[in-house]
Amino acid sequence: MFGTVVVGVGIAGLARIRDLMNPMPSSPSEHLKLLGFVSRRSFGNINEAKQISLEDALQSEEIQAAFISTENRSHEETIRMFLEAGKHVLVEYPMALSAKAARELWEMAEQKGKVLHVEHIELLTEEYKQLKKEVTGKDLVKGTLHFTGHVLDENKTGFPAFSGIARLTWLIDLFGDLTVTSASREEQKDKNYSRMTVHFQTANK
């Protein structure tokens, strides 16, 4: 059994706690034991999972892996702390707010002999697998992907493109490497409205 800790208890963190405490039969999660969760807020216990301090999570010899589900901006620092403490790390996308930081973290994990895995759960859903089957072997001529959401706190989530990074990984997984040909951003602060429009080109134009 691998001892694990969940860091951050927003929507993703609570889902992690739920799934680790009730693993699907014969799934890899059956080999993971949740030893606690870390949060800046005081909860006490959540569904029998106990709250522990970050320091205890880093120092515990029983904890071998951390699931990081905090806001985007803190991912890089939290990953570094757990890798330095000799733990494996699974982090919700994005791993960091820059490619340079991400490369440094990959190299650090390799030097430490630890697994650093970036999770994008949407790519594992049945709906997405079906979509991938439908586009396999076809040439993309032109397409549009439009999605909406609430306005995010840039201090926590980073530049607006990061709120759409999940969809960008869809496109890259489906159609290969993409080149940005143009990008624009429209903002109406009085209406709490923001829109980013990005045009991509596939390798075969």
Query: Of all residues in the chain, what percent are helix, strand and coil, respectively (each to 5)?
Result: 40, 25, 35
- How many whole angstroms separate alpha carbon 95 and alpha carbon 101? 9
Query: The tokens of 129 are what?
Result: 């697998």
195 has pLDDT over 90: no
**Rounded mean pLDDT of the chain?**
89
- How many whole angstroms separate alpha carbon 17 and alpha carbon 109? 24
CATH architecture, domain 134-202: 2-Layer Sandwich (3.30)
**Which of 29-38, 67-76, 190-199 shows the lowest mean pLDDT across its residues?**
190-199
Return the domain boundaries, the chain.
Answer: 2-119, 134-202
When pLDDT is cut at 50, 70 and 90, the band that residue 99 belongs to is: confident
- Establish whether domains 2-119 and 134-202 are of one fold: no
Task: Report the percentage of the chain scoring pLDDT > 90.
Answer: 50
56 has pLDDT over 80: yes
Q: Is CATH 3.40.50.720 what the domain over 2-119 is classified as, yes or no?
A: yes
Instruction: Provide the Cα torsion 63, 69, 72, 77; round to 10°.
Output: -10
63 has pLDDT over 80: yes
Average pLDDT score over residue span 13-31: 88
DSSP H helical ranges for the chain: 11-21, 54-59, 72-84, 99-112, 126-135, 154-157, 165-175
Query: The tokens of 79 are what?
Result: 């990953």
pLDDT of residue 162: 67
Tens digits of per-residue pLDDT, 117-128? Answer: 998 878 878 888
